[in-house]
Copies of this chain bind each other. A is one copy, B any other.
Amino acid sequence: MEKTTRICGATPDRIEVRGKDLVGELMGQLSFTEMFLLQLLGREASRLQMSIVDAVLVTIMEHGLVPSVLASRLTLLGAPESYQGAVAAGLLGVGDRFAGTASECAVLLDRIAGAPADQREALAVRIVEEHRREKRPLPGFGHPTHKGGDPRVEKLIAIAEAAGAPGDFIAALRLLEASMARVVGKVVPANVSSAIAAVLREAELPAEVMRGVVLVARCAGLVGHLHEETTRPIAGEMWKLVEREFPYEWT
């Protein structure tokens, strides 16, 4: 059983994070994203990791008035004394339905990229067929709004490639996409979740930290919405609208 932490220790004179002196080695020298990666992974981030993680965080910070944003703004309406409560309420909706697919897809990409090169294509087809047979959606494919292909997907991949990504996980994503087209008989485009999975794996982030990356980006997004809610409130009107449009009925 562990009895220590390897992240941070503070004495009156020194705060040390992952072996570095916070004041002397980190403050003023690292960007937020570099510090986040150091804290998360326990080692200095590479240039490639930084570019990819920054691009991913920028990509998913905002998507408008999604359910988690509504929950956050409605919570502030009832509890204006607790900003952190409103942020927490918003993050609680960043769950499996919208935010879980990146890590699920990453597990599939790991299987493909981990196979011998000449077996990857067949494996991708097999994975797609399995999901079809068990009537499970392939995680990270299809989108209710962006039916013709999500514009963020190719952009993320281009950013990763320009930053020098080795390419095995992007190639695995392409194999899944091609297998989908072959098995299903029509193009079902990769969505932003699988693209995030592919580029974060290129950056050597394991599947199990992907939800954490999403939460950090969404936390920043929620803070912006709460600031708007404070200065141009809409939650009260939302409430009235919902009460009017979803009446009580008992028969």
Contacts and interface: CB of A to CB of B under 8 A. Distances in A.
Contact of A230 (B11, B146, B208, B216): B208
A82 B228 CA distance: 22
Interface residues of A, number: 121
A5 B246 contact: yes
Contact of A39 (B23, B156, B224, B236): B224
A24 to B, nearest CB: 8
Nearest to A9: B248
Nearest to A231: B208
B64 A10 contact: yes
A131 interface: no
A229 to B, nearest CB: 9
Interface string A1-45: 111111111111111111100110011101111011001100000
A215 B221 CA distance: 11
A230 B212 CA distance: 12
A28 B10 contact: no
Contacts of A23: 151-152, 155
A27 to B, nearest CB: 5
Contact of A250 (B3, B6, B74, B215): B6
3 pairs of A and B residues whose beta carbons are closest in the complex: A79-B95, A9-B248, A78-B93
